[in-house]
Each structure stands twice: as C-alpha cells, then as structure tokens.
Structure 1
Amino acid sequence: MADRTSSSISVAAGRGAIMAVIADLGAYPSWASGIKSIEVGDTYPDGRAKDARLTFDGGPFSDTVDLVYTWDGDAAVHWELVGKGAVVTGLHGSYTLAEGPDATEVTYELAVDVRVPMIGMVKRKGEKRIIDSALKGLKRHVEG
C-alpha cells in the first residue's frame, strides 16, 4: 500500500473546532457523502474513538470495515484497517491540520487496497473522489 492519494482544503476555523467535527464520528453520515453509518466501539479517556465500524459507499469502494484510530491532539488523526471487509483488504487514512492566521489547512490522505484487481488509475480516482467529497463536506459543515 505504497501509493497514497492526498488533497487539502482551507477551512475558516481553528484546529480545535475542525478536529471536534472530525472526532464526532457518529455525525459523519450527516455531512460526509458516502458514509452510510459509523458505530464507535471503545473510546479514549477524552471521548475520541479508539475503534469503529464504518459502512461506506465510495463509488468503486463500498463495504463495511473495522478501523482503529490514533489521535495527535488537534493536529492529526490516523486510522487503519483492522477488520477486512468483503471488498476492502487494506486502508490507511489521515487528516492533518495546519492552523494559519486566517484559516486551517486540512490535508486528507487515503490509501485503499481491494480484493478485486483494479488499475492503479481507477483506484486513485476512487480515493480522490472519497477525499474531495469528505473535505468539501467538512468545510461546509464547519463553516456553515
């Protein structure tokens, strides 16, 4: 899973406000296109998810998977696949937040492996679609 797809967006809010939205996994279906449901399992003492079961429909990638989360305060969150789905066999993702004077740059990285052979270009296009949709939804939700 060497290839990752990445994109960034500028959000007119501080890191804390943005990370609060990102950390509220249960609310994702209301603003993140393609996320059908998220069930949070265990949480850290601060209430952020340690693990969750995610059901999504991301175009060429549609599945239910189990993820574990690692949080770096309000600077970043990383997630990894721990329970393979019917289609997805590998998944690594992250949000990284860099706060500037007027806005915060939010970068989303994603790498997905699937059981079905897929041309790299098609896979990256699917990842890009998921990333761009999530970033736009995050921006609308935070700034709205």
Structure 2
Amino acid sequence: MADRTTSSIVIGASRSTVLAVIADFPSYPEWAGQVKSAQVLTTGDDGLPATVRFVLDAGVISDDYVLAYTWVDELVSWRIAEAGKMVSGLTGSYRLADKGGSTEVTYELAVDLKVPMIGMIKRKAEKVIIDTALKGLKKRVEKA
C-alpha cells in the first residue's frame, strides 16, 4: 500500500462539528455517494465507533468490508479489519486542522484490491472516492 491518494477541503464549521458528522456512520449513504450502507458493529470506551461494516459501490470498486477506526484528537484513521470480495487492504484518514472558525479536512486513502488493476485506474478510483466524500462532507456539515 505504498501509493496513497490525498486531497483537502476547507469546511465552514468547527472541528468538533466536522468530527460529529464523520462519526455518524449510519448517515453516510445520505452524503457519501459510493457508500450504500454503513453499520457500526462495535464502539470503543470513548463511545466512538470502533468497527464499521460498509457496503460500497464505486463503479470499478464494489464491495462489503469492515473497517477498524482510531480516533485521536484531530485525526480519524482506519484500516481494513475484514476484507471483502474485492478489497484486500484499505487504510485511510481524515486529518482536521483548525483554521479559525473553519476546518481544513485532509483525506488520505490507499486501497489494495484482490483483482489486478492498473495503478492509474486504481488511483483514479481512489480520487473519485475522496473527492466525492470531501464534497459530501462539506455539504452535510455546512447544511447542519
């Protein structure tokens, strides 16, 4: 998983408001275009989701898998906990930086697939996932 795709966006809300939307996994299908469902399986001692089952349909990447989450201050990171039929590895993060009344969110993602795929096509799929998620997150947070 050496190749990672990264993108950022500034959202007109506090870091805590953005984090609350990120932690609301059951609502992901309403704003994260490729996510068809997201079910929290377990929560940590802090009450935040620890493992989440996703059903994803992102065109060339469609699958059902479980991610394990770590929540540390301005960083939400995840890794594959249970691979799907197509996705063999998945790591990523949201890094939130306070910008005085707004929050810069940087999304980093690396996906490994069980089926061979040209690196350029895989990175394009990662970029579509990231851009759609960031735009959806911004719209969802700023609407609230």
Structure 2 SS opposite 1:111 = strand
Question: What residue in structure 1 maps to residue 25 of structure 2?
Answer: 25
Pairwise CA distance, 1:46: 3.0
User: What TM-score results when the alignment is normalised by the length of structure 2?
Assistant: 0.96
Alignment of 1:1-144 (within 5 A): 1-73=1-73, 75-144=74-143
| Shift >2 Å, 4+ stretches | none
The RMSD of aligned alpha carbons is 0.9
Task: Report the secondary structure of 1:79's partner residue.
Answer: strand
What are structure 1's unaligned runs of at least 5 residues? none
Give 3-state SS (helix, strand or coil) of 1:101's partner: coil
How many residue pairs get aligned? The number is: 143
Q: 1:84: Cα distance to partner?
A: 0.9
After superposition, what is the alpha-carbon deviation per residue over 1:71-94, rounded to whole angstroms, capped at 9, x for unaligned?
A: 013x11001001110000000011
- Secondary structure of the 1:41 match is strand
Question: Secondary structure at the residue paired with 2:44?
Answer: coil
CA displacement 1:70-119 (0-9 Å, x = unmatched): 0013x110010011100000000110000112421100000000011111
Q: For the residues of structure 1 that align with 2:123 and 2:76, how far apart are their CA atoms?
A: 21
Cα displacement (A) at 1:52: 1.1
Alpha-carbon separation, structure 2, partners of 1:28 and 1:40: 11
> Quick one: distance in 2 between partners of 1:30 and 1:48?
20
Q: Aligned residues: percent identity?
A: 54
